[in-house]
Chains A and B, each alone.
Chain A
Amino acid sequence: MTAHRVSVTVNGKSYEREVESRLLLSDFLRHELDLTGTHVGCEHGVCGACTVLFDGEPVRSCLIFAVQAHGRELSTVEGLAPGPGELHPLQQAFWEKHGLQCGFCTPGFLMTLVPFLEQNPSPTELEIRQALSGNLCRCTGYQHIVDAVQLAAERMRRDAE
């Protein structure tokens, strides 16, 4: 086995590790960097629980090898909140609108929807439903997630004014 050196920036912090080529980025984040907020569901690109931002764009971290992240910037759910005891407006809205029950899928939803709201600050309900179609939730039936996104979008628009 050849070890590969990986230098990455995650949530603004630099890390360097030696990894096996077959290590998935999702496992790298969880087991090498102890960033266990990124959840691993299906491990074949269906459930979306492991979604992270890769150079600012949402991707499935179970479908990228850690070696491929060398030199890249990543963001995970741990980087969303502005500070201790505070929440990102989307996290706050998920809490208030019951956008989660067990919470397993939530990090993937958040990391999918944060860039979505940046690119589309006033989405329609259909656009929201299409944006979250790559993330599976088995608790909520999605309706409360849609409500949370609408609330967050409204507040983020207001804050931007």
Chain B
Amino acid sequence: MKPASFEYLAPDSLDAALEALTQHGWDAKLLAGGQSLIPVMNFRLAQPAVLIDLNRVREMDQIRPGGPEEGGGLRIGAMTRQRKLERDPRVAELAPLLHEAVPFIAHPQIRNRGTLGGSLAHADARAELPAVAVALRARLRLRSAEGDRWVEARDFFTGILSTALEATEILTEVALPAPAPRGGWAFLESSRRHGDYAQVGVAAGVWLDEAGRCREARLVYLSVGDRPVEAREAARLLEGAPLSDDAIAAAADKASRDEMNPGDDIHASAAFKRHLARVLTGRALRRAFARAQGAKGEA
């Protein structure tokens, strides 16, 4: 298994990368960590004429404090390695959901190469980072030679391995809002073996009011649709009430029954995925709730 021939470009600045992409458009593929692209090139399922390697664009792998739009938070360059997300103390403090989810991505050898932006742009509905981006209300910066726009994560994923990226755009950075007070997150998934793609995964977040009732909840799933799936109705069932076992069970039932459309595959039947989603939702909500109770109340 050897890839087909291609023209290799390794720009050392974002401007040079954008110029190359403007010239080649859809004939070119962008090479980030390569942990999904190179396997499909090895199989010759992808045979791009031009490969634009972003690994020498140093301005794309920085982690910086977020701007006023994020109320603090973080701005993370798209070429930031997943291993760095796992280890960076700023990520652990300001994006605990991301910190918790990253170790579920494949194996250390993969995370040493795989990047935040590469995984988002690849848009595999079974991957952790797209679901985490939707759950965190991340905003994605898409730049071209002429333009510069921000897209909400939920609008970025448009279908199977499909995104809002145009032919001449590069996903350059990801803005994550600062965590709201009295909140907690939990990320859980089930897989056949450690490091495999999840049969089902869930990111659950809850925020409490001063009386300890649920002010807001979020539930976002991976591996149950053609893109990250958010269960808004189930989350709404939780809001405005104490997070009792009954309320959590009702939300888990609602999400797994009515708000996802998993398919059968060799790893799990659709019915089993719904079962996993229901069980994982309950566990994740209880864990997120416990963390929210322990979280600091001040903004």
Indicate whether B113 reaches chain A with its CB closer than 8 angstroms: yes
Cβ of B6 and Cβ of A48 under 8 Å apart?
no
Cβ of A21 and Cβ of B6 under 8 Å apart?
yes
Chain B residues within an 8 Å CB radius of A67:
8, 10, 53
Indicate whether A62 reaches chain B with its CB closer than 8 angstroms: yes
Cβ of B55 and Cβ of A63 under 8 Å apart?
no
Chain B residues within an 8 Å CB radius of A134:
106-110, 195
Interface size on A, residues (CB 8 A): 31
Cβ of A45 and Cβ of B112 under 8 Å apart?
no
The stretch among A53-61, A86-94, A145-153 that forms the contact with chain B is A53-61
Chain B residues within an 8 Å CB radius of A2:
7-8
Contact with B along A107-143 (1 / 0, CB 8 A): 0000010001000000000000111011000000000
Cβ of B110 and Cβ of A45 under 8 Å apart?
yes
Partner among A1, A4, A54 whose Cβ is within 8 Å of the Cβ of B5? A1
Indicate whether B39 reaches chain A with its CB closer than 8 angstroms: yes
Indicate whether B247 reaches chain A with its CB closer than 8 angstroms: no
Indicate whether A43 reaches chain B with its CB closer than 8 angstroms: yes
Chain B min CB distance to A48 (Å) = 7
Chain B residues within an 8 Å CB radius of A13:
none
Please name the residue on chain B nearest to A70 by beta carbon. B10
Interface size class of B (residues with CB under 8 A): 20 to 34
Cβ of B109 and Cβ of A22 under 8 Å apart?
no
Cβ of A43 and Cβ of B1 under 8 Å apart?
yes
Partner among B2, B35, B55, B194 whose Cβ is within 8 Å of the Cβ of A45? B35
Cβ of B38 and Cβ of A131 under 8 Å apart?
no
Cβ of B39 and Cβ of A63 under 8 Å apart?
yes
Indicate whether A20 reaches chain B with its CB closer than 8 angstroms: yes
Contact with B along A4-37 (1 / 0, CB 8 A): 1000000000000000111010010000000000
Chain B residues within an 8 Å CB radius of A43:
1, 42
Cα–Cα, bound, A60→B108 (Å): 10
Majority secondary structure, A binding face: mixed
Indicate whether B66 reaches chain A with its CB closer than 8 angstroms: no
Cα–Cα, bound, A45→B112 (Å): 13
B1-31 with Cβ < 8 A to chain A: 1-8, 10
Contact with B along A63-104 (1 / 0, CB 8 A): 111011000000000000000000000000000000000000
Chain A residues within an 8 Å CB radius of B7:
2, 21
Indicate whether A155 reaches chain B with its CB closer than 8 angstroms: no
B44-59 with Cβ < 8 A to chain A: 51, 53, 55
Indicate whether A51 reaches chain B with its CB closer than 8 angstroms: yes
Chain B residues within an 8 Å CB radius of A24:
2-3, 38, 42
Chain A residues within an 8 Å CB radius of B8:
2, 4, 21, 65, 67
Cα–Cα, bound, A33→B107 (Å): 27
Indicate whether A157 reaches chain B with its CB closer than 8 angstroms: no
Please name the residue on chain A nearest to B1 by beta carbon. A43
Chain A residues within an 8 Å CB radius of B43:
44
Indicate whether B34 reaches chain A with its CB closer than 8 angstroms: yes
Cα–Cα, bound, A51→B107 (Å): 12
Indicate whether B83 reaches chain A with its CB closer than 8 angstroms: yes
Chain B residues within an 8 Å CB radius of A44:
1, 39, 42-43
Please name the residue on chain B nearest to A27 by beta carbon. B2
Partner among A20, A21, A60 whose Cβ is within 8 Å of the Cβ of B109? A60
Cα–Cα, bound, A110→B160 (Å): 37
9 intermolecular pairs with C-beta atoms under 8 Å apart: A2-B8, A22-B2, A24-B3, A44-B1, A45-B110, A59-B113, A64-B113, A65-B8, A68-B10
Chain A interface residues (CB < 8 Å from chain B)? 1-2, 4, 20-22, 24, 27, 43-45, 48, 51, 54, 57-60, 62-65, 67-68, 112, 116, 129-131, 133-134
Chain B interface residues (CB < 8 Å from chain A)? 1-8, 10, 34-35, 38-39, 42-43, 51, 53, 55, 83, 106-110, 112-113, 193-195
| Contacts A2-B8, A51-B109 supplied; 4 other A-B pairs, CB < 8 Å | A21-B7, A22-B4, A63-B110, A65-B38
